[in-house]
């Protein structure tokens, strides 16, 4: 990670360039398990972002005090504290949502995405950059979870955020909201995302080649004139 990167880049890179789900393939368990509906995905992503942001902030503030040998243990204790806060708040304020997410709220502790950001970024950068990085990664995670939840909710139960969006004549594909559907949806989504990126790259490459050829032609003509 170069020091001269602008602050806005630290936020934006999380959205797509190093998107936790599509690019880093981290934090798969909650992505697959809770995205039965948009609401669940949103709640999970917000809880994860809360933990990520506060852990990054705390760890980057204390990064010079944490000895290198015990850093992993220190990170985990910090993360576990915030997860406990998130878990208790959810249980108290949104008992239904907490029940729907099951053990996956406490399991935010072992989400590799959070530990990964602490190890790669927060332990080496100042609090402001770490905050932006955490927000960006959280937002990237949120986008992926909402897309997954949206697709699975529309196809699997005909609704979006609890509102009916497809006509009753459409028979819901039950398989999509079952575990098998989670794997299939994410696999296809990642595949098509790769396909899109690949095509975009090829078009850019071809445009580059065309530009180069045109430049070479004009240069040749100029040389010929001389």
Binding stretches for other proteins (CB under 8 A) = 25-26, 28-30, 32-33, 73, 76-77, 80-81, 83-84, 87-88, 103, 106-107, 109-112, 115, 175, 178-184, 186-188, 190-192, 194-195, 198
Residue closest to 119 by CA, chosen among 31, 52, 28, 22:
52
Q: How far is the CB of 193 from other proteins (least distance, A)?
A: 8
CB-nearer residue toward other proteins: 29 or 209: 29
Cα–Cα distances (Å) from 30 to 40, 78, 176, 193, 200, in that order, read 10, 20, 16, 20, 30
Q: Under 8 Å CB-to-CB from 80, ≥6 apart: which residues?
A: 109
Helices (H) and strands (E) in the chain, counts: 9, 2
Q: How far is the CB of 8 from other proteins (least distance, A)?
A: 29
CB-nearer residue toward other proteins: 114 or 122: 114
Q: How far is the CB of 87 from other proteins (least distance, A)?
A: 7
Residue corresponding to tokens 């080649």: 209
Q: Under 8 Å CB-to-CB from 81, ≥6 apart: which residues?
A: none
Q: How far is the CB of 199 from other proteins (least distance, A)?
A: 9
Q: How far is the CB of 128 from other proteins (least distance, A)?
A: 28
CB-nearer residue toward other proteins: 118 or 125: 118
What distance in Å separates the CA atoms of residue 36 and residue 151, rounded to the nearest whole number? 9
CB-nearer residue toward other proteins: 150 or 181: 181
Phi, psi dihedral angles at 36 (to 5 degrees): -70, -30
Q: Which two tokens stand for residue 79?
A: 């993360």
Residue closest to 19 by CA, chosen among 131, 116, 126, 96:
116
CB-nearer residue toward other proteins: 175 or 219: 175
């Amino acid at each position: 990670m170069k020091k001269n990167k602008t602050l806005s880049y630290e936020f934006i890179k999380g959205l797509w360039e190093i998107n936790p789900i599509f690019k880093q393939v981290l934090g798969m368990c909650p992505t697959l398990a809770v995205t039965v509906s948009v609401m669940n995905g949103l709640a999970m992503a917000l809880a994860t972002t809360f933990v990520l942001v506060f852990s990054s902030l705390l760890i980057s503030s204390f990064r010079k005090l944490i000895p290198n040998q015990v850093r992993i243990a220190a990170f985990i204790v910090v993360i576990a504290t915030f997860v406990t806060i998130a878990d208790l708040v959810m249980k108290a304020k949104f008992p239904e949502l907490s029940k729907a997410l099951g053990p996956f709220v406490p399991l935010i502790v072992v989400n590799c995405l959070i530990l990964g950001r602490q190890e790669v970024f927060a332990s080496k950068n100042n609090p402001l950059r770490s905050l932006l990085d955490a927000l960006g990664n959280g937002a990237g995670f949120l986008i992926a979870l909402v897309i997954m939840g949206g697709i699975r909710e529309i196809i699997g139960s005909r609704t979006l955020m609890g509102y009916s969006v497809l006509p009753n004549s459409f028979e819901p594909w039950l398989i999509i909201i079952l575990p098998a559907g989670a794997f299939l949806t994410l696999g296809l989504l990642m595949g098509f995302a790769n396909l899109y990126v690949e095509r975009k790259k090829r078009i850019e490459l071809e445009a580059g080649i065309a530009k180069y050829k045109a430049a070479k032609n004009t240069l040749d003509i100029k040389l010929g004139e001389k």
